[in-house]
Structure 1
């Protein structure tokens, strides 16, 4: 990823409002990483997401990328993302070519600073979801998220207050919040790459 990242401007396109982008001064957020697994299928590039189990601690039933908290044994956030993708979806770390990192994203409800890692697999992976964490595997061509009609608004409950959020529709699933914001930056970066001279 040699181009300047689209960054927060691209993330904000899919951000619920109002939203905090930085931790409280003096606080120490948890550090996490997620893997954005891309692979070719026919003439398209696909991305893999997953639906978390309803009993998940922080994001029950939500659509996310494979990922989780940085552990002391991890040498860096890339290793965290690869380890979590292996634990959750059985993506073999040796099969992943790391293309680069996107902009870190702070998630206030879980006090989490998430580092997105973009990975490339040469062929569609044979996934084995961890049933303790993963309810469903979702795959879609990246172009799906650029089509008119995929983006819409939904009302979600935020404590006692209704929250109107932008989301990407994928079948019966709504991709919103941090996952949608990370995906928005990836899509913006791809658009920037396509505008480069051949």
Structure 2
């Protein structure tokens, strides 16, 4: 699968919420606790960076350091909230990727954009940007934010055998979370929902040898 084919897929009609729902935690809201905010959503962006790795295509995920109000210790895409100096979501995604894992902005070719996704818990509205690099970057981690980089091949990520469901307790309520089990890591929440849309787009466009160069 080439970068050109991925770019072509991203210019088709996006499945959006229909794909997100496949990996959405249930319930979406906890009554009286989540989803009630007095301020507008916080605009943010993530970068889905598709890189060559062991003769296949892979995505570098970050494992966040285990602190923070909402997402400490979770597996995620590089990204964060839009700052004053960012004029759009693209700039946010590129800046955050450089700050968190050291990938220079000029080394990233942009392939397209996936559907925005809103997170009730944190009141973040996320724009997922898809990009690629010609070769595997040398990652330099922000130790204040990132514990490690997890490289996951698309062939593993999109393998149905790696899709599982875990349960969590949040505010004394049980949360059922579909996601992707990669080794000892479980990818869920907004990150899993974004992956689900990317996967559906690629499979809908009937690429052969998904994830291979």
Task: Classify the TM-score, shorter chain.
Answer: over 0.9
Go from structure 1 to structure 2 and tell me whether the alpha carbon gap of 1:126 and 1:36 turns closer, same or farther (over 3 Å shift). same
Shift of 1:19: 1.5
In 1: Cα distance, 2:144 partner to 2:54 partner? 32
Shift of 1:25: 9.5
Q: SS at 2:160's partner residue?
A: coil
Shift of 1:24: 6.1
Shift of 1:164: 1.4
Aligned to 1:145: 157
Aligned to 1:5: 14
Q: Which runs of 5+ in 2 are unaligned?
A: 1-9, 30-34, 209-213
Q: Which runs of 5+ in 1 are unaligned?
A: none
What root-mean-square deviation, in Å, do the aligned CA atoms of Structure 1 and Structure 2 show?
A: 1.8
Aligned to 2:7: none
- Which one of the candidate residues 62, 73, 84 is aligned to 1:61? 73
Paired residues, what number? 194
- 1:117 matched to 2:129: yes
Q: SS at 1:149's partner residue?
A: helix
Shift of 1:43: 3.4
CA contact (8 A) 1:48 1:137 kept: yes
The 5 Å alignment of 1:1-198 reads 1-19=10-28, 27-194=39-206
CA contact (8 A) 1:38 1:121 kept: yes
Q: SS at 2:134's partner residue?
A: coil
Shift of 1:17: 1.3
